[in-house]
Chain A
Amino acid sequence: MKTVSLSRRLFIAGNYAFLIALSVSCLFPLVHVLAISFSSSAAASAGKVVLWPVDFTLASYEFILQNDAFIRAFGVTLQRVALGFSLNLALTLLCAYPLSREQKHFRYRTAYAWYFVITILFGGGLIPWYLTVKETGLLDSVWALVIPGAVPVFNVILMLNFIRGLPAEISESAFMDGAGHWTVLWRIVVPLSMPVIATVSLFTLVGHWNAWFDGLILMNFPERYPLSTYLQLMVISSSTLNFSGVSLREVAEISQRTTRAAQIFLGALPILLVYPFLQRFFVKGIVLGSVKA
């Protein structure tokens, strides 16, 4: 039995303390926003709310959730996330796997890799992108939110890196047993790559959930906006920065710090709920058993 040294114990204690303090600091702003969303407008705009609601009220949530537009936008987002996620993941795997093969097995792999990487670096800007989407007929449909971004190059590169790190013997033996690439991909690579698949899934989900700009430009009518676009517009348009001072009624809308807070929180909520669930996949030692075999 090993005894645990004092320095080790101090380290562990200090580590826990540090990490917990760090997490709390990360939690603080979200709690602050949450508290504002449950407070009265008067208290919020006077800056009285810190971590706990003042004059507890559900008014801002009622206001948002009653709104048809919110529900509709939520539906659009669900659609795009479902479609986008599946497509992204499939394509990520399909691209990462071949690129992870060694140069000797796949001669042009480096060329292809660079082909993809260049697209992260260079772009023609907003207008050509918009025109392309328009010419391919995707404008104003949910597919406009799904197809143009279908290949998440960063995720592909990340994944190819991981796959490369897997022990070669496993796939070698599979090939020798007569398995084709598809079988190797599906039966061997995927199960062994759960941590990176979980990571990439998370990024994709978050990316699709939060992407608001494409919805704004590519959709012609507010009824088709995804949730993030809808929320973003609420936040921006109710910011004092944007005010033109012409309609007095609009002015009254601006003081709605609490509504803004509720919107922010509602926007982030689903992802926050999904994330811990995905953490199951960050599990050690999957590689172990298969190597021994």
Chain B
Amino acid sequence: MLLPGVALVFVYSYIPMAGIVIAFQKFVPVKGVAGSDWVGLGNFDYVLNMPNIDQVLWNTVYIAGMKIVAGLVVPIGIAILLNEVRNVLIKRGVQTLIYLPHFLSWIILGGILIDILSPSQGIVNRLLAALGMESVFFLGSNDWFPYVLVASDVWKEFGFSTIVYLAAITSINPTLYEAAIMDGAGHVRQARHVTLPGMLPVIVLLATLSLGNVLNAGFEQVFNLYSASVYESGDILDTLIYRLGLLDAQFGVATAVGLFKSLVSLVLISVSYLLAYRLANYRIF
């Protein structure tokens, strides 16, 4: 049964992986893989010696980390809240609507966010002014920028995960709920003792897989929202690489960075997998 899947994956995912060797070359497209010079760890050296690389790496991990956490907590919370909604129409309506932002690209959303967060005319600052507070230059200030990134990204993507969690919730055996109710559990108790545990396998799975994204702080988003005044807090690994003029000279470096990211993800995911297995005898996948 597994055969077709295995075969296809082999051809289209494993064979191209051989290209990882580019990470160790000074790759020039015209020369091809065979003709480009070998530089060993040279590309990695290059990246690690780039100005501000520490700052950039820190930004990447910090922002990605926040996104992972928020990206777990928010959809779970919303899924549970949504589960409490009895009115089918509203439930379906909300479900549909929260998935919408996913369809808009950051090119569009970037423009909208800039308008909304504008210190002089944006809605948010006008609200702050009405409440007697000073206006904040959200997109131009290093103090706020990372949080704006996280909040807007979560808003855009939470619909996706919420769907998965909702599906998990609907698969929970109703008898468990009945038993809990008979034991006198109120709604909060039910959520804690039936719903959450029922979702646990999926939560653990999504959490583990999202660990793989710890170095992917979101290129498209940052690219459309950042500017020179927030490089310090907003520049991430991918935007740094992007500015290297990928196309002409730096394929090798880009592949090297990709390899680096993959290795880090692999380590994190393996560790979680092993922990779950050893401690709870549970295989995440």
The smallest beta-carbon distance between B163 and chain A, in angstroms, is 6
Residues 131-162 of A, flagged 1 when their CB comes within 8 A of B and 0 if not, give: 11100100000000001111101101110111
A98 at the interface (CB under 8 A from B): yes
Decide if B1 is an interface residue (CB 8 Å cutoff).
yes
Contact A123 B202 (CB under 8 A): no
The answer to whether B96 and A275 have CB atoms under 8 Å apart is yes
- Cβ contact within 8 Å between A147 and B12: yes
Complex: how many Å from CA A104 to CA B102?
A: 41
**B65 CB within 8 Å of chain A:** no
Query: Closest CB of chain B to A15's CB: distance in Å?
Result: 5
Known interface pairs A22-B98, A122-B20. Does A151 touch B8 (Cβ–Cβ under 8 Å)? yes
Stretch in contact with the other chain, from B77-85, B133-141, B226-234: B77-85
CB contact under 8 A between A27 and B251, given known A8-B187, A33-B104, A165-B201: no
Given contacts A22-B94, A276-B92, contact A284 B170 (CB under 8 A): yes
Least CB distance, A217 to chain B, in whole angstroms:
13
Whether A175 sits at the interface, judged by CB under 8 Å, is no
B19 x A23 contact (CB < 8 A)? no
Bitwise, A110-121 to B at CB < 8 A (1) or not (0) is 101101111111
What chain B residues lie within 8 Å of A25 (beta carbons)?
Answer: 155
Decide yes or no whether A282 CB sits under 8 A from chain B: yes
Q: Mark A1-45, 1 if CB is under 8 A from B, else 0.
A: 000000010011001101110111111011011000000000000
Give residues of chain B (144-175) contacting chain A, Cβ–Cβ below 8 Å: 155, 159, 163-164, 166-168, 170-171, 173-175
Residue of B with least CB distance to A283: B170
Bound Cα distance A246, B82 (Å) = 53
Of A29, A115, A122, A158, the contact of B109 (CB 8 Å cutoff): A29
The answer to whether the Cβ of A287 comes within 8 Å of any Cβ in the partner chain is yes
Interface centre among B100, B283, B285 (most CB of A within 10 A): B285
The 8 closest A-B pairs by CB, nearest first: A124-B19, A128-B19, A23-B97, A119-B13, A195-B167, A128-B16, A95-B5, A148-B12
Write the residues of chain A forming the contact surface with B, with a CB cutoff of 8 angstroms: 8, 11-12, 15-16, 18-20, 22-27, 29-30, 32-33, 47, 91, 94-95, 97-99, 103, 110, 112-113, 115-125, 127-129, 131-133, 136, 147-151, 153-154, 156-158, 160-162, 164-165, 167, 181, 195-196, 198-199, 202, 206, 210, 235-236, 239, 264, 267-268, 271-272, 275-276, 279, 282-285, 287-288, 291
Q: Can you list 22 A-B pairs with a CB-CB distance of less than 8 A?
A: A26-B97, A29-B109, A94-B1, A95-B1, A97-B1, A99-B2, A115-B9, A119-B14, A119-B17, A120-B212, A125-B254, A128-B17, A132-B11, A158-B164, A162-B171, A162-B202, A165-B171, A196-B167, A264-B108, A275-B96, A276-B96, A282-B95
Taking Cβ atoms with an 8 Å cutoff, the residues of B that contact A are 1-2, 4-6, 8-9, 11-22, 29, 33, 78, 81-82, 84-85, 87, 90, 92-105, 107-109, 112, 115, 155, 159, 163-164, 166-168, 170-171, 173-175, 186-187, 201-202, 205, 209, 212, 251, 254-255, 258-259, 262, 265-266, 269, 283, 285
